[in-house]
Chain A
């Protein structure tokens, strides 16, 4: 699904990612953990195609195609979804109207007919239930006046609606209390499937209690220093990032 090879990225001339190699197979769920400033955020933005990140070396293949060559909307249309750490508000544009425009843009790319209002409403009701998003929020302006937890739930709701092939979830757990965390995790788990891959970026292990990944990677100072199974996350929680970095590779 996703193959990152020797990826080097600079921001304003400063190296942030210093040679990342990462492969996420179809249907796999990977977690990327690391301390603040390790480059997690940068990696998610580079994958989604945000301006201002200079790829100086390496390449990224997505479904066998050169991902870095595509504009952000094409990546989205090809099934790449980024769950934002800080989703922005778009005042005046209703959540549901926004999603309908997005979904139909993606459907158009796939050569499918746009969904009409009735089918769309049916689908959105079904998906909103998945993350317990109240009706009131689906009709409000995009993220406008949403609480931190509501914004995150809205991201997962959007993911459910757009049915991506690869979801990159950036700090989906940040700012969530334990109940909200469970709801979001339930939503994410419900969306797991044999055709869908996920890359879950997180600072803390607690999310991984609820969403159990196939592989865990540790990112420190722009490099992946360790990879392992779900127990690596637990080890991190107990020993901290520094020890893990220094420990010999198993």
Chain B
């Protein structure tokens, strides 16, 4: 058996590819959280007074709130006074206008992550905003997008250049006091991406933001705002990685989407934050609030997520289906290996008539991983003829992992139709042996079975990223068997 053991060992050593640290001088806010720190961040970003006040209000609300405990995750208490809320590469003091001015060390970092920022090298048709710790370090194809009127820029710049847009939409889908982590984010958020697609415009390329946490003891709190005006279309993707560190780091983002009449937003996530080591040491705590508002009639918002990283994932990308005939979709693959815990799902809130929602959730647990699907479907009184289809499937690998499904349904209109299907299966020794007898290595067999399981969701991803996600599922499961 020696050949196969060696093979598996060598793959195992590869582990988390993105776990390196970029050696770059960074400027930090002093650790801890207070009104002074909130003001410090606002000042760093040269923000207008109204935004500072908005942040302070959020901070005061946060002080009164309690960390939620209803999710099926357990982790040591987070000391909010111990971490830093702002870190930025020093060279970026006067935000570079062109890529030539970006610190080569940063470009090299993204290069290493497979995200080349030089436009000529980029995959055709994908514009990238690169966010490094608390700041955006580069945004590509901005000019080309501007030609068709699409705004794609870092949050901090959008506040200055399009204040009316930010004022109108910031907090309009996820109110400051929505939950503990959204309040925290609203107080200390640093950067993120803003997208606006004007009426009738089909965004000519995929937009993507690549988040990287680098600094130690620092949280990342980004804010993303995407507005699709009447009849427009945009596809947006975010990716994320972080170095391997022994201590846990907090990531608490807020994403707000607004789709006007006949507009469509497709939002995809490939989440690969550092998951911690096999004993559960280190890893990112990922507490994220994502919500989309289908404001106009016949609008559509589609969330696709592939969650393979993070020690803790707490995330429920949701849709408020306000416009009549609007559509909400949620496609998710979440994987927990080793000691990872994920509590994730969605909420579909049907307000308008003939609104439809689809939920496809695929949970994969391996090692000591814990996985919970938590989903809510709410049909309000006015949502005549609303429809929902929910499917949650769980795949277990080994005998020490766990999967839970917690669906909530609240129906107030008798004309609605809801369907719910759920399955649980296991990769058994029999399946693996069968595959190996046909010539496949154990690792290939697992990856084949997992990708088969996740296919329904992966096919929703933009082509280039589907391949990435497929590989990621394979890598994240290394060492899950045998």
The answer to whether A102 and B1 touch across the interface, beta carbons within 8 angstroms, is: no
Q: Which residues of A contact B1 (CB under 8 A)?
A: 71
| Complex interface: stretch among A91-99, A117-125, A172-180, A224-232 | A91-99
Determine how close the nearest CB of chain A comes to the CB of B11; give it in whole angstroms.
14
The answer to whether B453 and A77 touch across the interface, beta carbons within 8 angstroms, is: no
| Complex interface: stretch among B18-26, B203-211, B308-316, B441-449 | B441-449
The answer to whether A72 and B449 touch across the interface, beta carbons within 8 angstroms, is: no
Known A-B contacts A77-B439, A93-B448, A109-B439; A88 and B430 likewise in contact (beta carbons under 8 Å) = yes
Residue A70 lies at the interface, judged by CB distance under 8 Å to chain B = yes
The answer to whether A71 and B3 touch across the interface, beta carbons within 8 angstroms, is: yes
Alpha-carbon distance between A75 and B437 when the two chains are bound, in angstroms? 8
Determine how close the nearest CB of chain A comes to the CB of B439; give it in whole angstroms.
4
Residue A73 lies at the interface, judged by CB distance under 8 Å to chain B = yes
Determine how close the nearest CB of chain A comes to the CB of B14; give it in whole angstroms.
20
Per-residue contact bits, chain B 435-466, to A (CB 8 Å; 1 contact, 0 not):
11111111010001101110100000000000
Q: Which residues of B contact A198 (CB under 8 A)?
A: none
Residue B428 lies at the interface, judged by CB distance under 8 Å to chain A = yes
Q: Which residues of B contact A75 (CB under 8 A)?
A: 437
Per-residue contact bits, chain A 101-124, to B (CB 8 Å; 1 contact, 0 not):
111011001000000000000000
Residue A148 lies at the interface, judged by CB distance under 8 Å to chain B = no
Residue A82 lies at the interface, judged by CB distance under 8 Å to chain B = yes
Known A-B contacts A70-B3, A71-B3, A73-B4; A92 and B437 likewise in contact (beta carbons under 8 Å) = no
Q: Which residues of A contact B436 (CB under 8 A)?
A: 49, 71-73, 76
The answer to whether A72 and B428 touch across the interface, beta carbons within 8 angstroms, is: no
Known A-B contacts A71-B1, A72-B433, A74-B3; A93 and B449 likewise in contact (beta carbons under 8 Å) = yes
Q: Which residues of B contact A103 (CB under 8 A)?
A: 439
* Residue from A48, A69, A94 in contact with B452 in the complex, judged by beta carbons closer than 8 Å: A94
Q: Which residues of A contact B452 (CB under 8 A)?
A: 90-94, 97, 141
The answer to whether B4 and A88 touch across the interface, beta carbons within 8 angstroms, is: no
* Residue from B2, B435, B441, B455 in contact with A92 in the complex, judged by beta carbons closer than 8 Å: B455
Residue B431 lies at the interface, judged by CB distance under 8 Å to chain A = yes
Known A-B contacts A71-B3, A84-B434; A90 and B439 likewise in contact (beta carbons under 8 Å) = no
Residue A192 lies at the interface, judged by CB distance under 8 Å to chain B = no
Q: What DSSP secondary structure best describes chain A's contact surface?
A: helix
Interface residues of A in 54-77 (CB under 8 A from B): 69-77
The answer to whether B434 and A106 touch across the interface, beta carbons within 8 angstroms, is: no
* Residue from B438, B449, B451 in contact with A76 in the complex, judged by beta carbons closer than 8 Å: B438
Per-residue contact bits, chain B 33-59, to A (CB 8 Å; 1 contact, 0 not):
000000000000000000000000000
The answer to whether A76 and B437 touch across the interface, beta carbons within 8 angstroms, is: yes
Residue A87 lies at the interface, judged by CB distance under 8 Å to chain B = yes
Determine how close the nearest CB of chain B comes to the CB of A98; give it in whole angstroms.
7
Residue A165 lies at the interface, judged by CB distance under 8 Å to chain B = no
The answer to whether B455 and A101 touch across the interface, beta carbons within 8 angstroms, is: no
Alpha-carbon distance between A103 and B448 when the two chains are bound, in angstroms? 14
The answer to whether A82 and B437 touch across the interface, beta carbons within 8 angstroms, is: yes
Residue A32 lies at the interface, judged by CB distance under 8 Å to chain B = no
Q: How many residues of B contact A (CB 8 A)?
A: 26
Residue A202 lies at the interface, judged by CB distance under 8 Å to chain B = no
Alpha-carbon distance between A92 and B435 when the two chains are bound, in angstroms? 14
List the A residue with the shortest CB-CB distance to B423: A91
* Residue from B433, B437, B444, B453 in contact with A101 in the complex, judged by beta carbons closer than 8 Å: B444
Q: Which residues of B contact A205 (CB under 8 A)?
A: none
Residue A28 lies at the interface, judged by CB distance under 8 Å to chain B = no
List the A residue with the shortest CB-CB distance to B362: A92
Determine how close the nearest CB of chain B comes to the CB of A119; give it in whole angstroms.
18
Determine how close the nearest CB of chain A comes to the CB of B306; give it in whole angstroms.
16
Per-residue contact bits, chain A 16-28, to B (CB 8 Å; 1 contact, 0 not):
0000000000000
List the A residue with the shortest CB-CB distance to B427: A90
The answer to whether A90 and B438 touch across the interface, beta carbons within 8 angstroms, is: no
Alpha-carbon distance between A90 and B432 when the two chains are bound, in angstroms? 10
Residue A158 lies at the interface, judged by CB distance under 8 Å to chain B = yes
Residue B172 lies at the interface, judged by CB distance under 8 Å to chain A = no
Residue B415 lies at the interface, judged by CB distance under 8 Å to chain A = no
The answer to whether A106 and B453 touch across the interface, beta carbons within 8 angstroms, is: no
The answer to whether B440 and A102 touch across the interface, beta carbons within 8 angstroms, is: yes
Q: Which residues of B contact A87 (CB under 8 A)?
A: 434
Known A-B contacts A74-B3, A84-B434, A91-B425; A105 and B453 likewise in contact (beta carbons under 8 Å) = no
Alpha-carbon distance between A162 and B440 when the two chains are bound, in angstroms? 12
The answer to whether B431 and A105 touch across the interface, beta carbons within 8 angstroms, is: no
Residue A206 lies at the interface, judged by CB distance under 8 Å to chain B = no
Q: Which residues of B contact A92 (CB under 8 A)?
A: 449, 452-453, 455
The answer to whether B434 and A88 touch across the interface, beta carbons within 8 angstroms, is: yes
Q: Which residues of B contact A82 (CB under 8 A)?
A: 437
* Residue from B428, B441, B449, B455 in contact with A73 in the complex, judged by beta carbons closer than 8 Å: B441
Alpha-carbon distance between A97 and B433 when the two chains are bound, in angstroms? 17
The answer to whether B439 and A76 touch across the interface, beta carbons within 8 angstroms, is: yes
Known A-B contacts A70-B3, A73-B4; A101 and B434 likewise in contact (beta carbons under 8 Å) = no
Per-residue contact bits, chain B 257-271, to A (CB 8 Å; 1 contact, 0 not):
000000000000000
List the B residue with the shortest CB-CB distance to A99: B438
Interface residues of A (CB under 8 A from B): 48-51, 69-77, 81-82, 84, 87-88, 90-94, 97-99, 101-103, 105-106, 109, 141, 158, 162
**A-B contact list, 5 entries, CB within 8 Å:** A69-B2, A88-B431, A91-B453, A105-B441, A158-B438
* 5 new A-B contacts at CB < 8 Å, known A73-B440, A93-B451: A71-B3, A72-B437, A81-B437, A101-B440, A109-B439
Interface residues of B (CB under 8 A from A): 1-4, 425, 428-431, 433-442, 444, 448-449, 451-453, 455
In the A-B complex, the 10 residue pairs with the smallest Cβ-Cβ separation, listed nearest first, are: A92-B452, A93-B452, A71-B4, A102-B438, A76-B439, A72-B436, A105-B439, A106-B439, A73-B436, A88-B430
